[in-house]
Amino acid sequence: MEEIDIQLIKEKNDKSFASTRNACKLCTPLGACIAFKGIEGCVPLIHGSQGCATYIRRYMISHYREPVDIASSNFSEESTIFGGNKNFCLGIDNIIAQYNPKVVAIASTCLSETIGEDVPQLIREYQLKNTDKELPRFIYASTPSYQGTHIDGFHEAVAATVKAISEQSTQNQKINFFPGFLSTEDLRYLKEILSDFELEYNILADYSDSLDNPSWEKYMRIPDGGTSIENIVDMGNAAASIEFGYILNKGRLAGKNKKQTKAYTAAQYLEEKFSIPRFSIGMPIGIKETDKFFKVLSRLSGNPMPEKHDKERGRLIDSYADGHKQIFGKKAVVYGEEDFVLGMVSFLNEIGIDVIIAASGAYSGKLKGAIDMVKTQTNEIHIMDDSDFENIREMAEELHPDIIIGHSKGYYISRQLGIPLLRVGFPIHDRMGGQRIMHVGYKGTQQLFDKIVNAIVEQKQNNSPVGYKYI
């Protein structure tokens, strides 16, 4: 009888699969749908079950507080076995009849990807059957949730849109701007900054109006706003591209064990296809990263920083000094999308808060290296990628943070630990105005700084045995 290798058995057991209890991420086609809502006249179509579209609509409506229509090819048992071509064509027919869209943007799901649906072929077959009709534009993003997160889906949708629509004719002096997954208020502020530098630009995806509309007198099936098809086509003629993010997903889903072929972000694709120079910088959260953004804008525009932004920067520096004694040495847990976490870590280092946990549900394998690149603090940061909220909670219980920074799904941890949660990012379901939180630039950083200081002061004040009215 062969001798049993006890150590080998132990190693195998140590690496055994543990189920996710509360994932620190959302589904991939959800991110794609948010990006698609930033295209003018676009209706997203989920190629999969009705439940996927319902889940996505629920999350988006709860955060943005706007009506959101997401179409579905509505897979049944029959379509799961024999293919979803019939449902796909019927779904597009219904979208065209009810919405008359300029664009139908298709995102795949776990189900359609698992059975091997060839969506580009389905699109071609539909177009060939309807040559006598004026059809909308079609965009397709491959977004199975078992190979990514909502941020992967977002970047995948943006890259797919540029690949499908952008063209090159005559070069101009416009700037392509890919800000990534930010709030509607962030997008409005960033457009204001570009205009202040007197830059013409094409931005994708621009859901600043389509997911944050004024009150309507009459219901609109497709809300106003979004990047026009003409501007997306024109991206092939731009003088340069700016993209936010050190990690991104390189325009293709980066599954944990997926072999990577050549892949692109939207800006990388334009650089290689049309030789458009690309500037990749981090999320401009905090002074350091915002300074990099403004330097790029000055270089591209030939203009110095506008006075109003210079004053915003000066006021922010002054506030750092004013609030330093309240927050220096405090410990924070940060979680969310990788590039967003990276921006927050850089900012928190600036203001003297020690990040003890930096967590994301994504798994690019790049988070640790990127954090090492931007961090200035000397204490150890526990970096948790491919993470679960229960793992974050268990680690936080051991390390005793003073504040948690992230979206609403981590509220139960702050409640259990009795410390404040600063709500940022997506999704925010338990407060009003989540879509209007500003995170970027000097102005957004100022708002974040004030909220962090006040959250820590309020916690201390509420737990004071004597109470006080001055700080």
Summarised one tens digit per residue, pLDDT across range 321-365 is: 999 999 999 999 999 999 999 999 999 999 999 999 999 998 888
Query: 16 lies in a domain?
Result: no
Query: 406 lies in a domain?
Result: yes
425 and 365 inside one domain: yes
Q: What is the DSSP string of 215-257?
A: PPSS--SS-S-SB-HHHHHGGGG-SEEEEE-SS--TTS---TT
Count of domains observed in the chain? 2
Which residues is 214 bridged to in the sheet? none
189 and 48 inside one domain: yes
277 and 330 inside one domain: no
275 and 319 inside one domain: no
Give backbone dihedrals phi and psi of 103, rounded to 5 degrees, phi first.
-140, 135
pLDDT tens per residue across span 204-249: 999 999 999 999 888 889 999 999 999 999 999 999 999 999 998 7
Query: 108 lies in a domain?
Result: yes
Give backbone dihedrals phi and psi of 278, rounded to 5 degrees, phi first.
-120, 135
Q: What's 124's domain CATH number?
A: 3.40.50.1980
- In sequence order, the 6+-apart residues with CB closer than 8 A to the CB of 15 are none
The reported pTM is 0.92
311 and 274 inside one domain: no
Tell me which residue range forms the domain holding 399: 307-462
CA distance 403 to 222: 40
324 and 240 inside one domain: no
268 and 314 inside one domain: no
Burial of 281 (C-beta count, 10 Å sphere; 0-12/13-18/19+): middle
Q: What is the pLDDT of residue 237?
A: 97
Query: 438 lies in a domain?
Result: yes
257 and 343 inside one domain: no
426 and 383 inside one domain: yes
pLDDT in tens for each of the 471 residues of the chain?
344 444 444 444 444 446 677 888 999 999 999 999 999 999 999 998 888 999 999 999 999 999 999 999 888 777 677 677 888 999 999 999 999 999 999 999 988 888 888 999 999 999 999 999 999 999 999 999 888 899 999 999 999 999 999 999 999 999 999 999 999 999 999 999 999 999 999 999 999 999 999 998 888 899 999 999 999 999 999 999 999 999 987 655 544 444 445 568 999 999 999 999 999 999 999 999 999 999 999 999 999 999 999 999 999 999 999 999 999 999 999 999 999 999 999 999 999 999 999 999 988 889 999 999 888 888 899 999 889 999 999 999 999 999 999 999 999 999 999 999 999 999 999 999 999 999 999 999 999 999 999 999 999 999 988 888 887
> What is the token pair recorded at 124?
């071609």
144 and 268 inside one domain: yes
Query: 10 lies in a domain?
Result: no
107 and 251 inside one domain: yes
Query: 6 lies in a domain?
Result: no
377 and 267 inside one domain: no
Query: 289 lies in a domain?
Result: no
Query: 54 lies in a domain?
Result: yes
Write down which residue in 281, 298, 320 finishes a domain: 281
CA distance 153 to 243: 16
